[in-house]
Structure 1
């Protein structure tokens, strides 16, 4: 195989680093701390240096002695642009939408339960006789089955 398949990455060590590059370096340093490669005081020093870094070269020096990390200047990953939707944000939006839909389903069921039970109670009080049966059970029972089916469908659907 020739080296033409993977041309060397341009040297970006003198280029200005973005906030997202600094955050990526901090995340890599945190991972190194979790692995025990850095002690807490060295981690604190490097974090402070990462937030003060101006160029990719400044960030690369912070990761140079940590195995398994790719310096920001050599990374082929692109920084996330401000305002871009990450997969985590998309999941959070989907969950919020699903919660809102489920809240609508079950608040409708609760409203119907209160309304029909109120009608049943008014009829009982107005007649003065003990009730023969709780007739709203038929309405709210069917409504509840529909609400359960709809909830199950929303929870099992991944879109």
Structure 2
């Protein structure tokens, strides 16, 4: 089979959108001027093959653009916060269970030593050790200020 005569792989809309997104990130991070961005963006939507698209981003630090992508950063922050919520929900379920067992033993056997303090404190330290770094290492969520009439 003669590979020299084989045509290049055609680019699809998704490929063009990905390339346009990279160019937008390059503009936002100062790698491209507005005029160059507009010119390259027009070439993105005129491109037919993957090599045509590749040439439009070949001089850009694509790995750096993806690493500093605001959408990616926001997704990672959201995932970290979701993880803390799941951890907190498990902790609260454990607290309810140990308090229920303590109450049942207290009512049934008359033993009122408050032993649940130990698993509650131990697991609470774990939740705090998970939640505090997420709270202080991630940017604050924009809050909407409510104006009262």
TM interval, shorter chain, is 0.3 to 0.5
Structure showing the higher helix proportion among its residues: 2
* TM-score in terms of structure 1 length: 0.43
* TM-score in terms of structure 2 length: 0.45
Rg larger for: 1
